[in-house]
């Protein structure tokens, strides 16, 4: 009896041990499978796949809470990295589209980012894809740029202008500091200021020339007044001669001021053009009539060459006459006695070309590009005695206000031709 009970206990023990072992193995496998899935999901998240979602199971437990935490973490990280990715694309788009050149270097002075404008300014636009990873000396051998990047990596913000080919470029070197205050890199901004420098130089030259042109008649007037005051006024002949000269100088000063005002109004767009249909024969005929006395005194033949058909142009009559009279005046002054100046009109398509040709001394090729600069005179042979030096600059502004441009053809000793187009009104 006792042996039978002992046997049954042993059998029960081994059955219980076997069942508990099998249950333990099953539970361990269940837990292990969930842990392995979590491990795999964590690895996927670390690789950038934030769409992973772990099953939470039916019974809340520690693994259930851990799975829920993983899922929330994946969603949060996904949103955060998506926002960072979008922000990165926005910043990249801004840098790519900037009008200034941008080059970013790391702490070793190696290029990390370079935009198209910077590559263009450094004359490396054709090799932009291969620029990342180069040292600064691999971009340029300009000592100023290399020095600025070096100073930026040393923690100093600095600026300087350099000449790169035909361009003047303003450089700004700004260090990138970490939270601990250490320099992690440098950003180099490159701004093309060539046009700004050109305008500043033109402005300085204009002020100097205007001051010189004004000083000449003022000095002459002051000298003549002093001579009159010192006794010359008592000689009627000398006094009359001085007064005549003073009148000419005052007129010259008045023309200069008037021309400066006209030029300023044209450039500012505040001078209103009164456009209307204007008959070309009447326009050219009036120019010939006005300039005929000067042509006769100069011994130069002044003629008009007009097509047989009636032509009308849409323009401001007075301003276009001002341009043509200026061209004819130039031609007469630079044509020797016995020469000729011709005002010609030709029709083509929807426009009429007006031109003034002289067979005078001509213009040197290197001077043609500067003809319309204020106060510029090609040489003494084409200088305008007693003139303001602004006539061609004003003519250029008037013609451009009519949406046209002035063309110049000339060779030394073969005269010069000035022409521009106006829209037909018929």
- Residue 111, pLDDT above cutoff 50: yes
Residues in a beta bridge with 355 = 344, 419
For residue 3, what pLDDT is reported?
Answer: 74
pLDDT tens for 305-347 read: 998 888 899 999 988 998 998 899 888 888 888 999 999 999 9
Cβ proximity of 277 and 333 under 8 Å:
no
Domains and CATH numbers, the chain: 2-92 (no CATH), 98-192 (3.30.450.20), 197-268 (1.10.287.130), 275-423 (3.30.565.10)
DSSP class of residue 61 equals S
For residue 118, what pLDDT is reported?
Answer: 84
Tokens of 144: 């100023």
Cβ proximity of 404 and 313 under 8 Å:
no
Distance CA 399, CA 422 (A): 9
Evaluated on CA atoms 417, 418, 421, 425, the torsion sign reads negative
Tokens of 163: 């000449």
pLDDT tens for 238-280 read: 788 888 888 877 877 877 777 777 777 776 766 788 899 999 9
- Residue 31, pLDDT above cutoff 70: no
pTM score, whole prediction:
0.52
pLDDT tens for 42-65 read: 677 666 666 666 666 544 556 667
- Residue 102, pLDDT above cutoff 80: yes
In order, the DSSP letters of 4-24 are: HHHHHHHHHHHHHHHHHHHHH
Distances (CA, A) of 293 to 176, 180, 286, 299, 412: 74, 85, 13, 10, 27
For residue 71, what pLDDT is reported?
Answer: 73
The pLDDT > 90 percentage for the chain reads 15
Longest dimension (CA), the chain: 171
Cβ proximity of 143 and 151 under 8 Å:
no
* Sheet of strand 301-305, all strands in order from the earlier edge strand to the far edge: 301-305, 340-348, 351-358, 416-423, 407-410
Distance CA 315, CA 276 (A): 6
- pLDDT tier, 281 (very low <50, low <70, confident <90, very high otherwise): very high
Q: 318-348 burial, b if ≥16 CB within 10 A, otherwise e?
A: ebbbbbbbbbbbbbbbbbeeebbbbbbbbee
């Amino acid at each position: 009896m006792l042996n039978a009970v002992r046997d049954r206990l042993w059998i029960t023990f081994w059955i219980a041990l076997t069942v508990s072992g099998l249950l333990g193995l099953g539970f361990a496998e269940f837990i292990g499978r969930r842990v392995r899935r979590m491990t795999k999901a964590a690895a996927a998240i670390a690789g950038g796949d934030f769409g992973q979602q772990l099953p939470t199971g039916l019974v809340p437990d520690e693994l259930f809470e851990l799975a829920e935490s993983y899922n929330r973490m994946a969603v949060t990280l996904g949103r955060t990295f998506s926002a960072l990715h979008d922000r990165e694309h926005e910043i990249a788009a801004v840098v790519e589209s900037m009008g200034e050149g941008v080059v970013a270097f790391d702490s070793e002075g190696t290029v990390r980012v370079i935009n198209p404008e910077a590559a263009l300014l450094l004359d490396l636009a054709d090799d932009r894809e291969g620029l990342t990873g180069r040292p600064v000396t691999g971009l340029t051998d300009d000592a100023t740029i290399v020095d600025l990047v070096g100073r930026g990596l040393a923690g100093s913000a600095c600026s300087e202008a350099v000449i790169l080919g035909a361009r003047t470029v303003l450089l700004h070197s700004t260090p990138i500091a970490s939270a601990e205050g250490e320099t992690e890199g440098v950003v180099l901004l490159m701004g093309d200021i060539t046009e700004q420098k050109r305008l500043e130089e033109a402005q300085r030259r204009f002020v100097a020339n205007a001051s010189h042109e004004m000083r000449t008649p003022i000095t002459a007037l002051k000298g003549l007044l002093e001579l009159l005051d010192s006794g010359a006024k008592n000689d009627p002949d000398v006094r009359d001669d001085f007064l005549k000269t003073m009148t000419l100088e005052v007129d010259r000063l008045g023309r200069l001021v008037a021309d400066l005002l006209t030029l300023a109004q044209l450039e500012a767009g505040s001078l209103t053009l009164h456009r209307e249909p204007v008959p070309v024969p009447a326009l050219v005929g009036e120019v010939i009539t006005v300039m005929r006395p000067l042509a006769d005194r100069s011994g130069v033949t002044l003629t008009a060459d007009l097509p047989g058909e009636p032509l009308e142009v849409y323009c401001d009559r007075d301003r276009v006459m001002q341009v043509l009279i200026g061209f004819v005046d130039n031609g007469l002054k630079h044509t020797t006695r016995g020469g000729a100046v011709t005002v010609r009109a030709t029709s083509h398509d929807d426009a009429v070309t007006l031109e003034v040709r002289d067979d005078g001394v001509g213009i040197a090729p290197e001077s043609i590009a500067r003809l319309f600069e204020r106060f510029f005179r090609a040489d003494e042979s084409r200088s305008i005695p007693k003139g303001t030096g602004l006539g061609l600059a004003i003519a250029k502004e008037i013609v451009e206000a009519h949406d046209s441009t002035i063309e110049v053809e000339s060779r030394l000793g073969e005269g010069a031709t000035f022409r521009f187009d106006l829209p037909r009104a018929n």
